[in-house]
Amino acid sequence: MQPDPRNTPLAYLKGVGPGRARLLESELGLKTFRDLLYFFPNRYIDKSRYYKIRELERSSAEVQLIGKIVHLKTVEQKRGKRLVATFRDDTGEMELVWFRSQKWFRERLKLGEPYVIFGRVNWYNGAFSMPHPDLELLSAHQQQKRIRMQPVYPSTEKLTRQGISNRLLTQWVAAVLAQVREVLPETLPDRILEALQLLPKPRSLVQIHFPDSNALLARAQARLKFEELFYIQLALLSKKHERKKRIRGYLFEQVGERFTAFYKDHLPFDLTGAQKRVIREIRADLGSNAQMNRLLQGDVGSGKTIVAVLTILLALDNGYQACLVAPTEILAQQHFNAVSELLEPLGLPVGLLTGSVKEKDRKPLLAGLSDGSLPILIGTHAVLEPRVKFNNLGLAIIDEQHRFGVAQRAKLWKKNKRPPHILVMTATPIPRTLAMSLYGDLDISLIDELPPGRKPVRTVLRGDRDRLRVFGFLKDEIRKGRQAYIVYPLIQESEAMDYKDLMDGFESISREFPQPDFQVSIVHGQMKPEAKEYEMQRFAEGKTQIMVATTVIEVGVNVPNASVMVIESAERFGLSQLHQLRGRVGRGADQSYCILMCGEKLSEEARTRLQTMARTNDGFEIAETDLKLRGPGNLLGTQQSGVLSLRIADLVRDRELLQSAREFARQLLLADPGLEQAENRVVRTRLQQMEVFQNRWDYIS
């Protein structure tokens, strides 16, 4: 069997060599011919037209001209020198300027010879100039094959300094295509190619680098984007199919006494239709032979906790233990308090395990888990430690699960001989396109309605000039018996950023709201857990009316009496954070308010974020806006970014293509789950290549 030429190291490509190959790898991550094939241009320049100097406009456009260099001179300037050439055609003159490599150009430029130049035109002191143009002799230019649309590749300053120009990259890509084009395989089945009228793979790769027209470029991009999204979706759906087929889950056959008693007699409120639907979906999972792997999405305050409690009771009724893992001690403590209170009428013990639990308290906790006498554990990452052993763990619930890495979640699965059922929850609404790509191997449940009686939080934007009015409003709300949060982005003053810091804020709030008429708490991430808990408890019990805090209260604080959230320097926060903070109020029957304090000068993006917050309370609309503003890589952090390392597709712009790719992948697996049919062999081969890279979706073909 002949080796695949696409795996040839770039050092063996003519004109590259070992030194340049090392540079291409370190700067751009390019190692092989295959890497260069999938190193796509980020834009294109139309080189079909040659301009005359009199046709140039003051628009800083990139243009191509034919003319002669008639004069060269070196000009002294404050720092160093510049080389200036007079370039002339039959309609006028302009200057070509070099600030670097002047000796090299002076020795090689030929006066009086026709040149073709290309570059960005500047207008300065009544004349046009072109700094550091691409140029070649007209005779050499005419001998080359004409490229109508010139590709422009991503590059770095270091590559440019080392002489690796866009022209060189273009030549190398062309050389690789010439060597491997005949062996490029088709990687999509004929049925999909015909249904969507997609270009063949080899032609797509040629057209994306060297398009013959805008129409063919668009078709090549669509083909390669579809393929990238299709295989990601196919891999996720295949993984889900294989898991359900191979991994037997614990069978929760009965809805027992605990679940029934709690549902009939101890529910604190009537469930919404969405909550009932989600519980039915979970019960169907637990009653099958497959392991549940379900993502529960629900906006802030939508009632995910009660769904988690009912699921825990299903586990206990079938003789299994359950655990709930949260990313922070504050949130774990909040869950512990809520679950303990809800289950108190049933007399069920609940354990709490966090990093701050002392060893003397930890030993009986671990013993209870090991012998089965402790049926429910709530904790942080401490639950994942090897010494934590369960007697019979049947259900693991992970809250705000995007804060846990893949390896951390996998530790929970290994606590038993057989993996427990997994329910992952998030109050961070995830746009549909992102959910399909990030969690496409999970079943997804959605709580898309708030409990009855909740009033939407009113959100307003205010500036420094409104501060006294805001303080007056706070005093009015406190006199009505309400409480308020005031959140700051920083703990210490920053000279680099002109934002209100927490400590200055606490002092000014304490002056404006003096004792004994008002009591003010302060909470931030640098406090010891016990001090933080003490202040939060005082606020929860109504002993303080104002809590001055950093974003440690983003999750995990539930005070229904708090009706006002003031966010200082709101432009400093992301949309998701603002939405989470706003979710701390609006938990009681009273009308609640979120006041976004912001500076006078806002960037366009900051203005869009704040206006979005003021316009809507819909977490999913907010998440869609956030995705458009920040892109998927920044939305959920680097822990989850592997699946999102797309080479050409874009989850925002290509959402329809993504949905089409997922549907074609679903239909293909429905018709041929094992990918055994002859026409699907190319698909099976491609998937097997992807498996080599496990959690990465490297674009190989």
What digits encode the pLDDT tens for the residues 544-597? 999 998 876 655 567 888 999 999 989 988 888 888 889 888 877 789 999 999
In this predicted structure, what is the pLDDT of residue 95? 92
CATH classification at residue 307:
3.40.50.300
Mean pLDDT of 98-104: 85
- Is there a domain that residue 355 lies in? yes
Pick 668 or 637 by higher pLDDT.
668
- Give 479-492 pLDDT, tens digit per residue: 999 999 999 886 55
- Do the beta carbons of residue 151 and residue 105 sit within 8 Å? no
Whether residues 410 and 508 fall in one domain: no
Amino acid, single-letter form, for residue 573: F
Last residue of a domain, one of 556, 586, 616: 616
Token pair 């998030």 is at which residue? 426
Whether residues 351 and 477 fall in one domain: no
- Do the beta carbons of residue 294 and residue 282 sit within 8 Å? yes
- Is there a domain that residue 521 lies in? yes
Pairwise CA distance, residues 220 & 202, whole Å: 10
Q: Which two tokens stand for residue 175?
A: 């050389």
Mean pLDDT of 175-185: 89
Provide the edge-to-edge strand list for the sheet that holds 134-137: 122-124, 127-131, 92-98, 81-89, 62-76, 114-120, 134-137
Whether residues 402 and 466 fall in one domain: no
Whether residues 414 and 514 fall in one domain: no
Strand partners for 84: 73, 97
In this predicted structure, what is the pLDDT of residue 365? 93
Whether residues 400 and 499 fall in one domain: no
Report whether pLDDT(24) > 70.
yes
Report whether pLDDT(671) > 50.
yes
Report whether pLDDT(622) > 50.
yes
Mean pLDDT of 220-249: 85
- Give 119-155 pLDDT, tens digit per residue: 888 888 888 999 989 888 998 888 776 667 889 899 8
Pairwise CA distance, residues 177 & 145, whole Å: 15
- Place 645 in a pLDDT band, splitting at 50, 70 and 90: low
Report whether pLDDT(382) > 70.
yes
The closest of 646, 684, 655 to 668, measured between CA atoms, is 684
- Lowest-confidence segment of 261-265, 303-307, 624-628, 632-636 by average pLDDT: 632-636
Going 624 to 629 to 631 to 635, the CA torsion angle's sign is negative
- Is there a domain that residue 99 lies in? yes
In this predicted structure, what is the pLDDT of residue 203? 94
- Do the beta carbons of residue 647 and residue 699 sit within 8 Å? yes
Pairwise CA distance, residues 405 & 397, whole Å: 15
- Place 464 in a pLDDT band, splitting at 50, 70 and 90: confident
In this predicted structure, what is the pLDDT of residue 475? 93
- Element holding 685 (H helix, E strand): helix 681-691
- Give 520-542 pLDDT, tens digit per residue: 998 887 788 788 888 888 888 88
In this predicted structure, what is the pLDDT of residue 589? 77
Token pair 């299709």 is at which residue? 230
Mean pLDDT of 362-384: 92
Compute the mean pLDDT over every residue in the chain, rounded to the nearest whole number.
Answer: 84
Report whether pLDDT(518) > 60.
yes
Q: Which two tokens stand for residue 220?
A: 């090549």
Last residue of a domain, one of 426, 447, 474: 426
Burial class (CB in 10 A: 0-12, 13-18, 19+), 107: exposed
Going 348 to 352 to 353 to 359, the CA torsion angle's sign is negative
Pairwise CA distance, residues 305 & 592, whole Å: 22
CATH classification at residue 116:
2.40.50.140
Whether residues 467 and 519 fall in one domain: yes
Pairwise CA distance, residues 263 & 271, whole Å: 10
- Is there a domain that residue 320 lies in? yes
Q: Where in the sequence is the domain holding 549, given as residue range(s)?
A: 458-616
- Is there a domain that residue 544 lies in? yes
Pairwise CA distance, residues 489 & 476, whole Å: 25
Most trustworthy range by pLDDT among 69-78, 169-178, 325-334, 650-659: 169-178
In this predicted structure, what is the pLDDT of residue 494? 56
Whether residues 608 and 490 fall in one domain: yes
Return the percentage of the chain with pLDDT > 90, whole number. 36
- Place 408 in a pLDDT band, splitting at 50, 70 and 90: low
- Is there a domain that residue 90 lies in? yes
In this predicted structure, what is the pLDDT of residue 125? 80
- Lowest-confidence segment of 370-384, 452-466, 467-481, 542-556 by average pLDDT: 542-556
Whether residues 418 and 470 fall in one domain: no
In this predicted structure, what is the pLDDT of residue 588? 76
Report whether pLDDT(4) > 50.
yes
Last residue of a domain, one of 597, 616, 635: 616
Whether residues 309 and 398 fall in one domain: yes
- Place 501 in a pLDDT band, splitting at 50, 70 and 90: confident
Whether residues 387 and 467 fall in one domain: no
In this predicted structure, what is the pLDDT of residue 637? 45
Give one word for 241, left, alpha or beta, with left for phi > 0 and alpha for psi -120 to 50: alpha
- Is there a domain that residue 699 lies in? no
CB atoms within 10 A of CB 361: 12
Whether residues 417 and 501 fall in one domain: no
- Is there a domain that residue 188 lies in? no
Pairwise CA distance, residues 281 & 292, whole Å: 10
Q: Which two tokens stand for residue 92?
A: 């006028």
- Place 632 in a pLDDT band, splitting at 50, 70 and 90: low
Amino acid, single-letter form, for residue 491: I
Report whether pLDDT(340) > 90.
yes
Whether residues 476 and 612 fall in one domain: yes
CB atoms within 10 A of CB 277: 16
Report whether pLDDT(402) > 70.
no
Pairwise CA distance, residues 54 & 119, whole Å: 16
Provide the edge-to-edge strand list for the sheet that holds 321-325: 350-353, 376-379, 321-325, 393-399, 421-426, 293-298, 443-447
DSSP E strand boundaries for 236-392: 293-298, 321-325, 350-353, 376-379
Angle at 228 between CA 226 and CA 233, to 5 degrees: 90
In this predicted structure, what is the pLDDT of residue 3? 78
Mean pLDDT of 195-216: 92
Contacts of 142 (CB under 8 A, 6+ apart): none
Amino acid, single-letter form, for residue 585: V
In this predicted structure, what is the pLDDT of residue 77? 81
Q: Which two tokens stand for residue 696?
A: 């990465």
Q: State how many domains the chain has.
A: 3
Amino acid, single-letter form, for residue 576: S
Mean pLDDT of 448-467: 85
Report whether pLDDT(672) > 50.
yes
350-353 and 458-462 strand pairing: unpaired
Token pair 């290509």 is at which residue? 654
Main-chain phi, psi angles of 681, to 5 degrees: -60, -40
Number of residues assigned to the chain: 701
CB atoms within 10 A of CB 480: 9
Report whether pLDDT(693) > 80.
no
Rg of the chain's alpha carbons, rounded to an integer?
32
Return the percentage of the chain with pLDDT > 70, whole number. 89
DSSP state of 77: -
Mean pLDDT of 421-448: 77
